[in-house]
Structure 1
Amino acid sequence: MRKSDYSELEEILGYKFKDRSLLDTAFTHKSFANESTEKAYSYERFEFLGDAILEFVTSKELFLEYPEKTEGELTKLRASLVCEYTLSQITKNLGFGDYLYLSHGEEITGGKNRPSILCDLFESVLGAIYLDGGLEEAEKYIKKFLLSDIESKSTFYDAKSILQEYAQGNGLKLDYRLISTQGPEHNRVYRVVARLQGEEYEEGTGPTKKMAEQVAAHETINRLGIE
C-alpha cells in the first residue's frame, strides 16, 4: 500500500508538494517496483535527474563562495560534499529510510540503512522537488541540507590524511583493523575500526575497505575534535 501522507516529511524538507505521487516514485527502490503487483516506477530516473542538478548547483555555489580556490581545489571540495558517505548521512538523519519502498528481500538484509541506497534517495528526492517546484526549490533543498556547514562536511575527503598527520605529530601509530566483511561479492559491506597506538577509536562501514577506513577516520577526527 502506497503512503498518502507525507506531511511530516514536507515539514522537515520545508517544501509542500503539489503532486505527492512524485514522492512515491522518489522512494521506490527497483526491487519493490519489479515485484509490485501495482504499477510502480523506481526512483532511478529521478536519481539521474537529481544527480545532474546536484552537480550543477554545488559547482555554482562553490565557485561563488570560494573565488580564491583553483579548479582542482573546487573539484576536490565538491567531491567531498557529494560523496556517498556525506549524502547518506544527511538522509539517514532526516529519516528518509522510513519512507522507502523495498522488496522483502532487500528489507530483511538492511536495505533501509544501506549507504548506497540512502545516497540515492538524496538525489531522487531532489529530482522530485525539481519536477514539482522547479530549480529554485531544488536549490533551496541543496543549500539547506548539503551546503550548510561546508567546512565540517569537507573534511571527509581528506579524513585519512588528516588523522595520519595528527598521529605522526603526536608520535602515535595509526592503523585500521578489519572487524568483519558481510554480504555477497557484488554487495560487500566492510566494517573497520581506527586505532591509535593500539587503542580502538571509531568504527566505519563501506562498500570497500578504503571507504570504511575513511568513515572510521572521519568519525575519529570528530571524536578527537581535530580541525
Structure 2
Amino acid sequence: MIKVRPKRTRQRAAAKAVRRGLSDAAVLEAEVACGHRFKDKALLVTALTHPSAVTAAESLQHANQRLEFLGDRVLNLLIAERLIERRKNETEGDLAPRLNRLVKKGACAEAFRHLGLGVFLLLSDSEVASGGRERESTLGDACEAVIAAIYLDGGLGAARKFVEKAWAPQFTGGPAEMKDPKTLLQEWAQGQGHPLPEYVVTGRSGPDHAPEYEVEVRIAQNGTAAASGPSKRDAERQAAARMLEQLKGTT
C-alpha cells in the first residue's frame, strides 16, 4: 500500500527544496534587511521566490501567490490603521487617496527597494534577462509576499514594524515628494528648457548577491550629483534626489 504524506508535510518538504536557492548567509542578510528574525525561514524564502523560479514544486508557486494575496490585505489594514491614528482630523474622503497612494504596487516596489531586498529575489534566468529584478510589479508583489511571511511568522506587530521601516521615506514625504526623484528631476529639466538628465554608472563593487552601484546624474549647465545603491535604479534615484537638493540652493 502506497502511503501518501499529509498535505502539510508535503508543503514543508517543498519549501525545504526551494530553500537551496538562498544560502544561509543570504537568508540572514535578508532577515537583517527586513528587521525580523524568522522562526520559520522557509516562509521568507517562499516570499522571495518568484513564480518564474519554480519548476518542479508547483505548490510553491501557489504558496508565493497566496502570500501576495494575504500581504496585500495586511498592508491595507496597517496603512489604514496608521492613517486613522496619525490624521485624526481628516475625513474618509481625505484618507482614501492617501491610503491608495501608499498601498499601490509602485509604493510597495519603492519600499522593497528602500530595504535593498531585490538582490535576494529568486528569479528564473529569463526573468532576470528581461529586467525582472527592476520591474515594479515584480518588486511590489514580492514586498506583499514578505509582509505576509512576517505576519504569519511573527504576528501583526512584526508586520507593523516592517511596514514602518520599509515605508519610512514615503511616510515622511509630502504629496509632491511621493513622486520618484527621477520624475521630479525630469520635470524640472523640462520646465527649464534643459535636456533630460543623463545617468551614468561610474562604478560597481561588492559580491554578485549584494552589489553596490555608483551612479552620476548630469544636467547641462547644472553640474553633477553622485550616489550609490544596491541596484542601478536605486542609485539613480538617490543621485536624482541629491541633484534636486543641489538645485534648491540655486533657485
After TM superposition, the score normalised by the length of structure 2 is: 0.63
Residue in 2 aligned with 1:3? 22
Residue in 2 aligned with 1:12? 33
Distance in 1 (alpha carbons) for counterparts of 2:168 and 2:65: 24
Give matches, 1:1-227, under 5 Å: 1-5=20-24, 6-33=27-54, 36-38=55-57, 41-42=60-61, 43-147=64-168, 150-152=171-173, 154-155=175-176, 195-201=190-196, 223-224=243-244
| Rg larger for | 2
220 and 199 in structure 1: CA distance in 2 versus 1, 3 angstrom threshold: farther
71 and 202 in structure 1: CA distance in 2 versus 1, 3 angstrom threshold: farther
Distance in 2 (alpha carbons) for counterparts of 1:61 and 1:122: 18
Ranges in structure 2 where 5+ consecutive residues have no aligned partner: 1-19, 199-238
3-state SS of 1:112 partner: coil
- For residue 24 of structure 1, report the CA deviation from its aligned partner: 1.6
Aligned residues: 186
78 and 222 in structure 1: CA distance in 2 versus 1, 3 angstrom threshold: farther
Query: Are 2:114 and 2:166, in contact at CA under 8 Å, matched by a contact in 1?
Result: no
After TM superposition, the score normalised by the length of structure 1 is: 0.69
Query: Are 1:80 and 1:153, in contact at CA under 8 Å, matched by a contact in 2?
Result: no
Distance in 2 (alpha carbons) for counterparts of 1:109 and 1:77: 32
Distance in 2 (alpha carbons) for counterparts of 1:109 and 1:158: 25
- For residue 220 of structure 1, report the CA deviation from its aligned partner: 7.2
Ranges in structure 1 where 5+ consecutive residues have no aligned partner: 164-174, 177-192, 204-218
Distance in 1 (alpha carbons) for counterparts of 2:91 and 2:164: 22
153 and 83 in structure 1: CA distance in 2 versus 1, 3 angstrom threshold: farther
Distance in 2 (alpha carbons) for counterparts of 1:153 and 1:51: 23
Partner letter of residue 89 of structure 2? E
Partner letter of residue 194 of structure 2? E
Partner letter of residue 127 of structure 1? A
Identity across matched positions, percent = 34
